[in-house]
Structure 1
Amino acid sequence: MRKYGVFFLCCLFFAGCEKKDPNVVSVETNLGTIKVRLYDETPVHRDNFLKLVKERYYEGILFHRVIPDFVIQAGDPDSRNARPGMILGANGINYQLEAEIVPRYFHRRGVLAAAREGDNVNPERKSSGSHFYIVQGKVFQPAELDSLVDRINNKRHQALFERLQQYRAPEIRAYELEKDYQTLEKINKELSEETRKLFEKEKLVLTEEQRKAYTTVGGIPHLDGAYTVFGEVIEGMDVVDKITALKTDGNNRPLKDVVILKME
């Protein structure tokens, strides 16, 4: 009996000493629990998320933005006890994080990423300190994916040109008033060449791994290279799917509140 007793106590001891992964966070909601693992390759985002979890920042916050085949998003402190129909998403913690865009981590189904302000006001693509989203995404047919990539690249090219054009807007306006079309044509060529060079870094070119993921498990390719992906769901994608199935209002807020009860 003593041997069995000692063996039992040893089992309890080693079970108690079993190491937990410090990068795994359990997100308990009123619709179920989602477990995410944070990436070591994005240490700024990892450490910030863990800090907010320890500070209980997310407790009581809603998933305020829910779009089927796209994402579920949370992080607005104004969402705590928000009245029905209240527009949410404009507030957050009062700092941003430097972008940590790692090419090997892309927007396949189930990844965790940081929301941010648009390129027009945030060209460095800094992340919100508190807003995050989980990708549900959709599955693409190969031809559909090719067509989407073409549209994404056309849009990125045009956005780059317009951004550069905006920087030189006063100069362009002055030459327009002078009707100096020769100089305007020269500027246009300069902008086109500069856009071409910058676009080489912005162009979306899918790897075989990305193509396989987007045509099997799904995702949202158009966000690749533009937002920081810093983790992934390891349990509870059924809960994410349950959340995206909820009816929402015109601002993509669920009519039934999805509350983060606890993170640990």
Structure 2
Amino acid sequence: MNYSKKIFCQPLLWVIALFLISSGCQPKTEEQATAENRETDTESKLEPLTTENVVEVLTSYEKEHADSLVLISTRHGDIKLRLYSETPLHRANFVRLTKAGFYDQGEFYRVVKGFAVQGGDSDTRTMKNGAYKIPQEFNPKYIHKRGALAMARYGDERNPEKESSSHNFYIVQGEPKTVQELRAFEAKHNMKYTPQQIKLYTTIGGEPSLDQEYTVFGEVIEGMDVVDKISEEQVDGQNWPHTIVPHKIKTINQ
């Protein structure tokens, strides 16, 4: 599969700490992506969004769709997630893509055992959602604990405001951290963890290196064992599974 065509990169720390330099993740310009979208708009159930209208459309959509529970189905089983109301643009975007069937053409395409699994994209997708990014919605309440759901984004040079990808998401695995490590991340990110957050990071684990870098907008409430199974997939040198892991996503009753 030719993942060099992907628009959005994996989380930046993957590039630096785990992939070093990934030649397979070269972002396209918005102009290139928009041109490709025009060619296939007739195949899409979605009205493609743009940088200019994304906030207006998602704000309006969020008022009409208060869905907060979603189910990701894979060949390894189901993952149930709760989306946060305090990140309304990200929640609305995820629900909008889900209801349109966009994520039913996606897969978990990048896997780093002990770190995270990333999904949302596929080279075989025919639906297009437009060339846009989502304004970041950082919230100190929501950290990259084990089971956190967050959106990937462009790297810093191309995206100083740390806006999120339109569709690529990841679920955190992570490992337990020491209090000393957490203090270092507090200083780096100019933040302060609560006692409860410190307990989470030192017991169940997570990836504090990503806090205040990527928007966390939900969490796994059932099915972390499925995330762990996905993380066991055999991968190539760029952490792409040898056997694809397709996913289907739907909203479920509250």
User: TM range, normalised to the smaller chain?
Assistant: 0.5 to 0.7
In the alignment, the residues of structure 1 paired with residue 124 and residue 140 of structure 2 have an alpha-carbon distance, to the nearest angstrom, of 32
Query: What is the aligned partner in structure 2 of residue 217 from structure 1?
Result: 204
Corresponding residue of 2:151: 114
The equivalent residue for 2:54 is: none
Tell me which of 114, 125, 132 is aligned to 2:162.
Answer: 125
Aligned match of 1:72: 117
Runs of 4+ in structure 1 off by over 4 angstroms are none
Alignment equivalent of 2:88, drawn from 36, 43, 58: 43
Q: Which runs of 5+ in 2 are unaligned?
A: 1-65
**Hey, what does 2:227 align to over in structure 1?**
240
**Contact 2:186/2:193 (8 A) holds in 1:** no
Distance 2:111 2:96 in 1: 25
Distance 1:148 1:129, change over 3 A: same
Matched, 1:146 2:193: no
- Could you tell me how far apart the structure 2 residues matched to 1:207 and 1:79 are? 43
TM-score by length of 2: 0.67
1:15 maps to none
- Which one of 90, 106, 131 corresponds to residue 94 of structure 1? 131
Taking the aligned partners of 2:81 and 2:130, their CA distance within structure 1 comes to: 21
* Aligned equivalent of 2:195, options 208, 223, 228: 208
Q: Which has the higher strand share?
A: 2
> Higher helix fraction: Structure 1 or Structure 2?
1
Deviations 1:176-201 (A, max 9, x none): xxxxxxxxxxxxxxxxxxxxxxxxxx
Q: Does residue 257 of structure 1 match 2:244?
A: yes
Shift of residue 205, structure 1, vs aligned partner:
3.6
Q: Tell me the percent identity.
A: 46
For the residues of structure 2 that align with 1:117 and 1:219, how far apart are their CA atoms? 21
Q: Is the 8 A contact 1:36 1:233 kept in 2?
A: yes
TM norm structure 1: 0.65
Partner of 2:6: none
| Bigger relative contact order, structure 1 or 2 (CA pairs below 8 A, ≥6 apart) | 1
In the comparison of the two structures, how many residue pairs are matched?
185
Distance 2:205 2:215 in 1: 18
Output the aligned Cα RMSD.
Answer: 2.2
Deviation at 1:64, TM superposition (A): 0.7
Code of the aligned partner of 2:101: R
- CA contact under 8 A between 1:92 and 1:128: conserved in structure 2? no
Matched residues in 2 for 1:22 and 1:127: separation? 20
Give the drift of 1:245. 1.3
State the alpha-carbon separation in 2 of the partners of residues 92 and 132 from structure 1. 15
